[in-house]
Structure 1
Amino acid sequence: MTAATHRSAEEIGRTAAGPRELPALGEQRAAADLTHVDTVLANGLRVLAVRKPNVPMVEVRMAIPFAGDDPLHSATAEVLAETIATGTRRRDRVAIDTELALIGGDLGTAVDPEHLSVSASSLASGLPTLLDVLADILTEASYVDNEVSREAERLIERLAVARTQPRVIAREALQRHRYGTHPYTREVPEPDDVAQVTPELVRALHADALLPRGSVLVIVGDIDPDAVTGQIERALSAWSSDKAARELPSLPELAGGNLLLVPRTGAVQSQLRLSAQSVSRTDSRYAALQLANLAFGGYFSSRLVENIREDKGYTYGAHSGFEFTGQNATVQVEADTANEVTAAALLETRYELGRLGLVPPTDADVESVRQYAIGSLLIGASSQAGLAAQLLGLAAVGLGAEWLSGHPARIAAVTTDEVAQAALDFFAPSRFTGVVVGDAETLAPQLRSLGGVTVESSES
């Protein structure tokens, strides 16, 4: 028997007549019909319940507006999120964990400057228990002194590590450069602030800010949407207030301008972070802008990735994408590079931004990103957890299942000319600002000669 020989990918992709042709793109599946109920309960909580019975499970997602301008708000909110499920008047931490385990469930919380988020799941048969535990922590969380102290100490350790990470440093620098002292910039509290948080402060924040009016609960799974809405209303009947949860103040419009070089002495890599104002998902241009973004840097076959990763090897990864905050939207461009190629990577990024408008995507390019966009949307919504996450992001800005169901058709209707116009209108290099974080002594001479970059006066 003759031993099989190994063939390279290039050899596999070629025939005697030349490169092997790629198969044609298949027909795109239609979006699923989402049987749902979208209503507001008597306590002001919006409930979006969707039937998706592919597995006998339920996924619950909740977003509670949780903005605050107190200097210790960010730190107190982080401690609250870490300790809200560590005990109530009726259950201690062990009891909560045990009841969730018995129904195949889990429950987690997280907080950012905009929302306190709750993620939970269980077997569909265990939903009454899951809702009872959820109601218990929303109305009766005890924040026992030793639990708050222990979790605060752990949080301080994690924050100390996080604040040394280049991506965290770059994100904070971008936020300060874009929005100054706006509350939205307080994403990672200072360890010293966390050390000042007391159980009394956490309990006071819970009573004052953890409110149903203006909040959203999404439930997806093997449920009857009508019946489960009544079940949720009964379970959460004790969670009520005349006040509304506090929304984050509107962000200012982002203007283009110079990039800021933020010194990070001794760093061997740099972080490029560019940002420009975009449009919300309800804007008629959004679908075209989404496809333009994919063509620029939104997936692996994009122009930016092809240029600074595949062709020139300046970075292991480059990406562009949207950030939605309330009704505000921005587009971000990110890449991490070695110091010696940082200026060149910035030059090529600016070049690709300009080229997208001046040499727009072709019909074939647009069809490729169209298929990717619709396919990604459908894949993301194919699981209960993915669908719940997508719907929560939409519901938090007033949208719902109808928007999600109708978006594949909007993407399918976009023309190549509309993508070209979106590229010209939104990806012009002059619309972007941002930061470069790295060793200023190494980077400043090249970036100054490149132009459009100012140097922060001192390391922060």
Structure 2
Amino acid sequence: MLNRTVAPAFKQVANINFIAPLEKQLSNGLPVFIINAGEQELVRIEFIFDNVNWNVQKPLQAIAVNGLINSGTAKYNARQIAEAVDYYGAFLQTEYGADYTTITLYSLTKHLPSVLPILWSVLNESNFPEQELAIYKQNQKQKLQVSLQKNDYLARKNFAHAIFGNTAYGSDIQLESYDELDRTDLLAYYQAAYQASNCTIIVAGKFDDNSFGLLDQVFGGSWSNQEVFAANEFEFVPNEDKSLYIEKPEALQSAIRMGNLSINRTHRDFPSLQILNCVFGGYFGSRLMANIREDKGYTYGIGSGVASLRQAGYFFLATEVGADVCGSALAEIEKEVNLLRTELVAEEELDLVRNYMLGSLLGSLENAFSHADKFKNIYFAGLDYSYYDNYIQKVKTISAEEIKDTAIKYLDWNAMTKVVVGKK
């Protein structure tokens, strides 16, 4: 009989294999990275553009272009684009990130001859109709008005602005920022950013030589956008005020967000910091969850993370707690920070974290798309696959002493910017 009171023995993941992409170029020199894998006749093609020409006076310029890029072109209006893509069972997704903007096409491989020309028109001939821009402004202002009533949104927004200032990483977007959007500015940014010299294509799924030939036929020629652009560069000035409190007397819950500027993926200590974060608040069995949720019952959920951006990295912690226990929750969080800086993690706890992290990495490599995502992490950081080798080795071998040293170096309560929205 199976004794269910005894947990099964740990068995550490032995090998984790990555599928490296094949690198090719279109006729115009545009780099293409291809992971030709999978059983289904499905392909994902990502056109990834660096965010450029940052203008602090126009913080929504790049965001709005990404949101409106498929709202009309010289050949199609917004409805025609949506109907044509949908007719072939394809999906066109736009995504704005802190460093990059991505236009992604999901399609059956056999329908690429029909949908790629539509995407070409979007990337070369978008004209941002005034009517669509007016609708966009109205919708986004309504969404922002709703978001500004939510404590967690205010905490996240004010935290980003506190550590990153008026950069693309932390711009303080207001309702009037949408009123200042202008079609001429959108066209100027579109023509500068959306061109072959600022683009990387990453393909995952069923994609053979014939498919590449079709991609080259459609996108390998000259793009109409040939404007000068400058890569975004930022300087981050540390915020002297480490405590920001936005009072809401009627609040039943208080949102807490705290953290600080830190290192990104290019730093040799980053894997160690990821392991430390996992112990602290990076998974459901973390210390923060065990204390603040399970033991004290202050919250439904609490977590921490380390984020890697092109020009910075940062550590953050986020939760919402009962307004009447906010001060107690902050005290417990501080206690957990100090414990990691002063005491060694038990080997049993460390083994659990090791197995969780290795299992999570292995589980995240379930298809060609996820292998492409792992490639993007290293490619845009200027790294190679040795990064993952080093990461896996560090997870397997890190000692409790190393975790303590990492906590002393990177987990400092006094260095953290603390934002509380609600009551404390």
Structures share fold, TM-score greater than 0.5: yes
Deviates more, 1:52-61 or 1:299-308: 52-61
Deviates more, 1:235-244 or 1:111-120: 235-244
Cα gap change, 1:73/1:299 in structure 2, threshold over 3 Å: closer, same or farther? Answer: same
CA distance in 2, matches of 1:418, 1:320: 19
Please tell me whether residue 377 in structure 1 is matched to residue 357 in structure 2: no
TM superposition shift of 1:170: 0.8
Q: Is the 8 A contact 1:270 1:436 kept in 2?
A: yes
TM superposition shift of 1:302: 0.5
TM superposition shift of 1:289: 1.6
Q: List alignment gaps of at least 5 residues for structure 2.
A: none
What SS class does the counterpart of residue 316 from structure 1 fall into?
strand
CA distance in 1, matches of 2:114, 2:162: 46
Cα gap change, 1:192/1:276 in structure 2, threshold over 3 Å: closer, same or farther? Answer: closer
What SS class does the counterpart of residue 197 from structure 2 fall into?
coil
CA distance in 1, matches of 2:14, 2:104: 29
Cα gap change, 1:105/1:21 in structure 2, threshold over 3 Å: closer, same or farther? Answer: same
Corresponding position of 1:70:
55
Cα gap change, 1:114/1:264 in structure 2, threshold over 3 Å: closer, same or farther? Answer: farther
What SS class does the counterpart of residue 353 from structure 2 fall into?
helix
TM superposition shift of 1:257: 6.7
CA distance in 1, matches of 2:26, 2:38: 24
User: Quick one: which of 68, 81, 87 aligns to 2:66?
Assistant: 81
Corresponding position of 1:266:
250
Deviations 1:37-61 (A, max 9, x none): 2356675644322122143211223
Please tell me whether residue 311 in structure 1 is matched to residue 299 in structure 2: no
Deviations 1:12-47 (A, max 9, x none): x9x7xxx82100123425223414123566756443
Q: What pairs up with 1:349-360 in 2 under 5 angstroms?
A: 349-360=333-344
TM superposition shift of 1:269: 1.8
CA distance in 2, matches of 1:91, 1:241: 18
Q: What pairs up with 1:397-436 in 2 under 5 angstroms?
A: 397-399=381-383, 403-404=387-388, 407-436=391-420
TM superposition shift of 1:156: 2.2
User: Quick one: which of 386, 392, 401 aligns to 2:370?
Assistant: 386
TM superposition shift of 1:241: 5.8
CA distance in 2, matches of 1:407, 1:130: 39
Q: Return the letter of the residue paired with 2:141.
A: I
Between Structure 1 and Structure 2, how many residues are aligned? 422
Please tell me whether residue 161 in structure 1 is matched to residue 107 in structure 2: no
What SS class does the counterpart of residue 169 from structure 2 fall into?
helix
Corresponding position of 2:123:
138
Corresponding position of 1:235:
218
Corresponding position of 2:46:
61
Deviations 1:271-311 (A, max 9, x none): 21111233222322222221111000000101111011100
Cα gap change, 1:253/1:231 in structure 2, threshold over 3 Å: closer, same or farther? Answer: farther
What SS class does the counterpart of residue 22 from structure 1 fall into?
coil
Q: Is the 8 A contact 1:74 1:113 kept in 2?
A: no
What SS class does the counterpart of residue 352 from structure 2 fall into?
helix
Q: Is the 8 A contact 1:88 1:137 kept in 2?
A: yes
What SS class does the counterpart of residue 168 from structure 1 fall into?
helix
Q: Return the letter of the residue paired with 2:375.
A: L
What SS class does the counterpart of residue 313 from structure 1 fall into?
coil
Q: Is the 8 A contact 1:173 1:262 kept in 2?
A: no
Corresponding position of 1:456:
none
Corresponding position of 2:330:
346
Deviates more, 1:153-162 or 1:288-297: 153-162
CA distance in 2, matches of 1:103, 1:135: 16
Q: Return the letter of the residue paired with 1:111.
A: Y
TM superposition shift of 1:190: 2.7
CA distance in 2, matches of 1:373, 1:46: 32
TM superposition shift of 1:429: 2.0
TM superposition shift of 1:112: 4.3
Q: What pairs up with 1:109-120 in 2 under 5 angstroms?
A: 109-120=94-105
User: Quick one: which of 213, 230, 235 aligns to 2:197?
Assistant: 213
Please tell me whether residue 48 in structure 1 is matched to residue 33 in structure 2: yes
Corresponding position of 1:105:
90
CA distance in 2, matches of 1:233, 1:392: 21
Deviations 1:205-224 (A, max 9, x none): 21233333343332111224
What SS class does the counterpart of residue 398 from structure 1 fall into?
coil
Q: Is the 8 A contact 1:272 1:334 kept in 2?
A: yes
Q: List alignment gaps of at least 5 residues for structure 1.
A: 1-12, 444-460
User: Quick one: which of 90, 101, 107 aligns to 2:75?
Assistant: 90
Q: Is the 8 A contact 1:59 1:385 kept in 2?
A: yes
CA distance in 1, matches of 2:397, 2:39: 30
Q: Return the letter of the residue paired with 1:65.
A: D
Corresponding position of 1:368:
352
CA distance in 1, matches of 2:31, 2:311: 18
Corresponding position of 1:148:
133
TM superposition shift of 1:181: 2.5
Deviations 1:302-330 (A, max 9, x none): 11110111000111111010122214111
Deviates more, 1:243-252 or 1:317-326: 243-252
Q: Is the 8 A contact 1:217 1:392 kept in 2?
A: no
Corresponding position of 1:191:
175
Q: Return the letter of the residue paired with 2:305.
A: G
CA distance in 1, matches of 2:87, 2:337: 53
CA distance in 2, matches of 1:21, 1:75: 55
Deviates more, 1:322-331 or 1:385-394: 385-394
Q: Return the letter of the residue paired with 1:269.
A: Q
Cα gap change, 1:185/1:411 in structure 2, threshold over 3 Å: closer, same or farther? Answer: same
Cα gap change, 1:349/1:202 in structure 2, threshold over 3 Å: closer, same or farther? Answer: same
What SS class does the counterpart of residue 159 from structure 1 fall into?
helix
What SS class does the counterpart of residue 177 from structure 1 fall into?
helix
CA distance in 1, matches of 2:288, 2:80: 51
User: Quick one: which of 236, 248, 253 aligns to 2:232?
Assistant: 248
TM superposition shift of 1:351: 0.7
Corresponding position of 2:285:
301
Corresponding position of 2:264:
280
